[in-house]
Amino acid sequence: MKKYVVKRDKNSLPEKLTRYRAELNDEQFAVVTAQPKAALVVAGAGTGKTRAITYRVAYLIEHGVSPQRILLATFTNRASKEMLRRVESLTGSQNVHRVWGGTFHRIANQILRRHAVSIGFDSNYSILDSEDANDFISVCIDEASIDTKAKRFPKPDVIQGIISYANNTDLPIENVIVGKYPYFEPLTDEIKRIDLIYQARKQERNVMDYDDLLINVKRLLIEKEEIHALYADQFQHILVDEYQDTNRLQAEIIDLLAVKHRNVMVVGDDAQSIFAWRGAEFTNIYEFPKRYPEAALYKLETNYRSTPEILGLANTSISHNRKQFPKMLTAVKRSRDLKPAMVPCSDVEQQSAFVASRILELREEGINLEDIAVMYRSHYHSIELQLELTRRNIPYRIQSGVRFFEQAHIKDVISYLRVIVNPRDELAWKRILKMVPGVGNATANRVFEAIVTTGPRPNELAINPAAGNADAEAASLRAGTLALESIRAVGGRFAASQPWKSFVVLLELLSSQENRDNPSKQIELILTHGYEQYLQENYENAEARIEDLKGLGAYATRYKTTDEFLSELALLSTERFKEPQPLVGEEIVSGGDEDELLTLTSVHQAKGLEWKAVFLIWAAEGKFPSPRSLREIDSEEEERRLWYVAITRAKDELYLTYPLLMTDYNRQTVLQKPSRFITECPAVLYEIWNLEEEASVFDAPVEIGEKRHEYLN
């Protein structure tokens, strides 16, 4: 067969390329038409990276690359489907579905279904979801002969989190425990034994968890040379989206697949690498040129989202990071002569009042609530604001789906406080009882029945109106004393156990005359007398939850009594939903039309989103960056990247607020400074707003005739 090479006129652009040239800017066009070789595309915020990737795939197909020889790795299957749908529209090709597109796990599963037999699995293996994996680990704990009742031991999902982090970062379990879970260090040998049993059992039962999909495909590519050669040859072009969020394992798989052609194009933004806490490896993108010395570097710096003023602050801020690919985002938008605002507030209440007031003004100016977001570094920073929004009837959604006071750990602590104030509160009692190791529904019901039976009857607690508060307090104390006596008496087989004894001691401390009307102190006692340990054993994000509760304790310092504190929370809930809502029951789901809801979100959860107006609250030193994050190497630079992500979410208006004075967890008044991420930038890049309180009509001097009188206390 004779081979003939068709030559084309290189001086003119093909028709389709002419269209591409019209629909892409110069930076995007360079990426889309790049020559086949390794490429790093550093795509700044709002620069159209998704558009560039989509057109790149279309360009490859239109230039004769078979779709099945293209691998497109994304972080959601939805993103992949949307990109390929657009590719089909651009090319008119009916074969776009043959592109290997999807998440790393989806692609790994496709390969393993064909070749799992090669590594000891049947091709019909089952995939464990997180609940199944936890159940599996529970069985492994039993097999390891670990008596979790004799000593406190992490729950299966926490152990699963430790194993998962070790797998995805390619670190030994002992290193993960020392670095992220130091309170479990004495249990290292037991956790390693559980992991060994867990891995063996999965293979015996022909099942894999989500991490196994990546681990086993890597193992397949390393151990089976012929299979590795097959896929290394097949994937002539590899594209990876959001490369800055990949972990070590994902990067290693890409490198293995790209070993023959080396036509791997990774797209991401080193300045938006903010997920180290869940295993993302910043060095993957930062050191890509070291692993691929021949790689071409492309930058997308034309920003379609934000005003020049917002980008000016963003560019200057991120420039302080040493480890980065320098870039300068340029705005397409015209200037609105509106600089980012730095807004010092006298205290937390004024911060909340300012944000709420300005949001209402923006709404009057024609900006829908849906186009406004309030961001924060940590979830507990939103406590006061949520309450202020409720008071003003401003509807909102929490990006995570759960409002602050509806989270499990907040409900737990509030339940302790409720039983002290009202010893006949059934929901609260059963919630805290079931947190005691070994206590289930049956025991909780029995204990509560004993409290009700031995406690005073409602008519015995009748208050003499003439006696006022003194009689009320006496009645409450009497009820609390009888409830404690009941708790001491009904411990049953648990009475001698250390967890039960600790539980009783905590209740005694909470109900003592010294502490019973000090909600802040009570929250501190709950944390230090077992609940902090409970969080560590039950939640992967224990540290964040502990931080939330310390924030709640600081907030509670403004209330004179525990009853007042709880009543305020309950009444605010009633005001928001027009009917009473439980603080210890089921989670509440808010309604309302989508365009009527303000968004409250942590910065991490805001990545990839945008709003016309953004408020970043608690922009203070010690809050953002967080002191916890600064305990680790290179964490200040990651915190600055997180800050960069926050301010680049804003299209038109940006407000950075912080309270000058706050009451901390130890009930001390603290003077706060603005975040270093503000002060390290020239003051010309932002505008300082000085707040003044609107004068009340009652503050004005009283006028009688022609005379003015001022009345002072």
Cis geometry, peptide bond prior to residue 625 (ω within 30 degrees of 0): yes
224 assigned to active site:
no
Helices 188-204, 173-180: axis angle to 10 degrees equals 130
Round to whole Å and give the CA distance between 416 and 428. 7
Instruction: Give the three-class secondary structure for 205.
Output: coil
Query: At which residue do the structure tokens 């086949």 appear?
Result: 36
Strand pairing category for 207-208 and 39-43: unpaired
634 assigned to active site:
no
571: its two tokens: 């009444």
Considering 155, 545, 576, 649, which one is annotated as catalytic?
649
59 alpha carbon, distance to own chain's centre: 36
Other beta carbons less than 10 A from residue 223's beta carbon: 11
397 forms beta bridges with: 599
70 alpha carbon, distance to own chain's centre: 33
Shortest CA distance to 425 belongs to which of 434, 417, 436? 417
Instruction: Give the three-class secondary structure for 418.
Output: helix
DSSP state of 326: -
16 alpha carbon, distance to own chain's centre: 42
Q: Which residues of 649-672 are buried (b: 16+ CB within 10 A; e: fewer)?
A: bbbbbbbbbbbbebbebeeeeeeb
Round to whole Å and give the CA distance between 683 and 687. 7
Radius of gyration of the chain (CA): 30
Shortest CA distance to 350 belongs to which of 600, 566, 617? 617
Q: Which one-letter amino acid corresponds to residue 666?
A: N
Considering 209, 212, 242, 245, which one is annotated as catalytic?
242
Considering 27, 28, 47, 50, which one is annotated as catalytic?
50
Residues near 620 by Cβ (< 8 Å), separated by ≥ 6?
Answer: 658, 659, 672, 673, 674, 675
Q: Name the helix (H) or strand (E) containing 704.
A: strand 702-704
Residues near 683 by Cβ (< 8 Å), separated by ≥ 6?
Answer: none
Residue 8 has phi, psi (to 5 degrees) of: -115, 160
Which residue intervals of 207-265 are DSSP H helices? Answer: 210-223, 225-234, 248-257
Considering 54, 272, 307, 657, which one is annotated as catalytic?
272
- The phi-psi region of residue 543 (left if phi > 0; otherwise alpha if psi is between -120 and 50; otherwise beta) is alpha
49 assigned to active site:
yes
649 assigned to active site:
yes
Considering 62, 212, 241, 425, which one is annotated as catalytic?
241
DSSP state of 158: H
Structural contact between residues 42 and 300, judged by C-beta atoms closer than 8 angstroms: yes
Considering 27, 28, 47, 49, which one is annotated as catalytic?
49
Distances, alpha carbon 84 to alpha carbons 37, 239, 279, in Å: 22, 13, 28
Other beta carbons less than 10 A from residue 239's beta carbon: 26
CA 560, 562, 565, 568 torsion: positive or negative?
Answer: negative
3-state secondary structure 177-195: HHHHCHHHHHHHHHHHHHH
Q: Furthest-apart CA pair in the chain: how many Å?
A: 113
97: its two tokens: 């579905």
Catalytic (active-site) positions:
49-50, 241-242, 272, 649
